[in-house]
Amino acid sequence: MLMLPAVSEGAHLNRIPVLYWNHVGLEMNRAVHSLDGPQTGPTMSSRALGLLHLAMHDAYFAALGQASPYQTYLTALPAQANPNWATADAELAMAGAATKVLDALYTRKANAIPDATHETLVVMMRNLISSYPGEINTLHPAYAFGEIIGVTIMVKLGVKPGEPGADAGYYRPSTGRYKFREDPVHPVRRVALDPEHPERGSKPVRAYHGPHYGDVQAFAVHFPQDHALAPPPLGGPLYNNALREVVALGGAPGSARLTRSPDQTVAAYFWAYDGANLIGTPPRLYNQIVRKLYEAEVTGNLTHGQLIRLFALINVAMADAGKFAWKEKYKWELWRPQTGVREHDSGSGPGAANGTISIDPDADPFWTALGAPDTNTNRQAFKPPFPAYPSGHATFGAACFQMVRLFLGQAGEEKDGQGIDGLAFEFVSEELNGVSRDLDGPYDPATPLSDQPGTIRTRIVRRFASLWDAIFENGISRVYLGVHWNFDSFDPADAPQEGPRYGRPATFRYSNVWPKRQALPVGGIPLGLGIANDIWQNGLREPPPVQNIAVHPFQQVALNMAITPVR
């Protein structure tokens, strides 16, 4: 059985129904990344949380009927609520939607997942559901009503059997200059030929995450054509400055020209969450921070209904951020710094035709990035297996935190919602919590992490003056890891200079953020801000039918989600 370390937050949070179900989604996020289960990676994990919270949102507010303070996402509900239902019934409906979506996401057996992993996830799911502090009466009509909503959301927005999702399919990267390809430091990983019998040997696999994910169905963006990016600034002064910056700030310890400070290294690790063992992906981190904002009363005295709305908004925004970020990633296929620094000289790389007398002084064929940390393992840091531009971290974080700012009315006075807010907070990242560590040997899932030998990461409480500050540091942290260029997050021309480095994030205004846009933006931060603005402006409502994908009967059957009969 997987032994997950305790989460550092008040136990009272999980006595609030929507926060309990959010907790279940976040626990499953880190469990599947520890066990190589389903719904992994930033794309599918953000989609899973979006499905969960959107289903709960519609089940709860549809069950309230005329008493609901919010409209549902679905413009046509699949069933009618009892007009006499009250808040307790709406919470039962929310539980029905949550359990139906969670079962569909995590307890269906996939061929590539070993039986032991599947059984562990099923047991974990059952234990989490049975620990729900509220009522789960599966015989109640409100619970069955919630199940119907959950199935409807899954059929409409879930990745169907046979659709690519985050799988690589037959994708192969280009060998051209500036083009993404496998990490030169860790080009392949070995996987078992038969997951049920690892003793039968392994094979080399080149992992490419989500090359077709940009074609999946959007959730709630109403202007999809507007959420595209300008091309990355290749070959000119902005690119060369970004290359020099990542060499100076993103190299591994001992790298030539490295000037990264301890504070920058802390920022690099604080925001990582690169699918790490026992930690999971960035959408989990951003949910944790919003929970912390509520726990610390930074968000004010929100009602349960307002919490349901807020968590639906942030997770739907991140689900759409994943779709549109990955659409752009595989449109531009930009190489990561690990490749770009090594092959910066025109005589380097598989596409080079002519030699040079001496290599470009900005090139370093032996450069190694600090890398995304493979925390709670004994494995080396790595380069995420998808193109650099734009940064997924920057897009997810900007979409999530901008939605919080909009919901609380603290997103500035400009039309595109930019400007400083007063939402200061402190947070302990699980990358730097005094428990997570770099292990001396392989991870043992049968032993508590605290009993496994390795170098413990120092516990650090990090304070942010605002969410606007957090949006910037989340983006620039990827440069400090050496896995992104600065323009993957923002247009460097937007960043005011104070001395040799960037000025205060409070003074930043990102150019061409939707809807106040003169041209296509550069980087994930303006992309994420615009996605949040679009969803907010359109009220978390289902997009026009032209956006929707028809569901064939065989696809619905393949979901294998029987609805509990109404009794």
Confidence band of 561 (pLDDT split at 50, 70, 90): very low
- Domain-embedded: residue 487: yes
pLDDT of residue 1: 73
Q: What are phi and psi of 325, to 5 degrees?
A: -65, -45
- Domain-embedded: residue 359: no
Report whether 193 contacts 203 (CB < 8 A). yes
Q: Quick check: is 393 catalytic?
A: yes
pLDDT of residue 166: 87
Report whether 37 contacts 322 (CB < 8 A). no
Q: Which residue range forms the structural domain that includes residue 485? A: 11-349+374-559
Residue 190 DSSP SS3: strand
pLDDT, one tens digit per residue, over 389-442 is 999 999 999 999 999 999 999 998 788 999 999 999 999 999 999 999 999 999
- Domain-embedded: residue 526: yes
- Domain-embedded: residue 34: yes
pLDDT, one tens digit per residue, over 330-348 is 999 999 999 999 999 999 9
Q: pTM for the complete prediction?
A: 0.94
Q: Within its chain, how far is the Cα of 402 from the centroid?
A: 15
Q: Residue 261: pLDDT above 70? A: yes
Report whether 308 contacts 73 (CB < 8 A). no
| Buried residues in 340-360 as b, exposed as e (16+ CB within 10 A) | bbbbbbbebbeeeeeeeeeee
pLDDT of residue 546: 58
pLDDT of residue 203: 84
Among 463, 371, 383, 378, smallest CA distance to 423 is for 463
Question: What's the CA gap between 458 and 434, in Å, rounded?
Answer: 5
pLDDT of residue 191: 78
| Tally of domains in the chain | 1
pLDDT, one tens digit per residue, over 81-131 is 999 999 999 999 999 999 999 999 999 877 778 888 999 999 999 999 999
Instruction: Please tell me which residue in 33, 140, 209, 393 is annotated as part of the active site.
Output: 393
- Domain-embedded: residue 440: yes
Q: Which two three-digit tokens encode residue 538? A: 């359109």
Query: Do β-strands 454-456 and 501-502 pair in parallel, antiparallel, or remain unpaired?
Result: unpaired
- Altogether, the residues listed in the chain come to a count of 567
Q: Residue 553: pLDDT above 60? A: no
Q: Residue 468: pLDDT above 90? A: yes
Question: What's the CA gap between 164 and 211, in Å, rounded?
Answer: 9
pLDDT, one tens digit per residue, over 524-551 is 999 999 999 999 999 999 999 754 444 4
Among 331, 471, 305, smallest CA distance to 398 is for 471
Question: What's the CA gap between 137 and 146, in Å, rounded?
Answer: 12
pLDDT of residue 479: 98
- Domain-embedded: residue 82: yes
Report whether 512 contacts 521 (CB < 8 A). yes
Q: Which two three-digit tokens encode residue 256? A: 């030539």
Domain CATH code at residue 79: 1.10.606.10
pLDDT, one tens digit per residue, over 11-31 is 999 999 999 999 999 999 999
- Domain-embedded: residue 213: yes
Q: Which residue has the higher pLDDT, 356 or 528?
A: 528
Confidence band of 564 (pLDDT split at 50, 70, 90): very low
Q: Which two three-digit tokens encode residue 124? A: 């974990």
Q: Residue 371: pLDDT above 50? A: yes
Question: What's the CA gap between 272 and 288, in Å, rounded?
Answer: 14
Confidence band of 154 (pLDDT split at 50, 70, 90): very high
Residue 289 DSSP SS3: helix
Q: Residue 557: pLDDT above 70? A: no
- Domain-embedded: residue 3: no
How many of the other CB atoms lie within 10 Å of CB of 108? 17
Share of the chain above pLDDT 70, in %: 95
pLDDT, one tens digit per residue, over 197-234 is 788 888 888 889 999 999 999 999 999 999 999 999 99
Report whether 277 contacts 430 (CB < 8 A). no
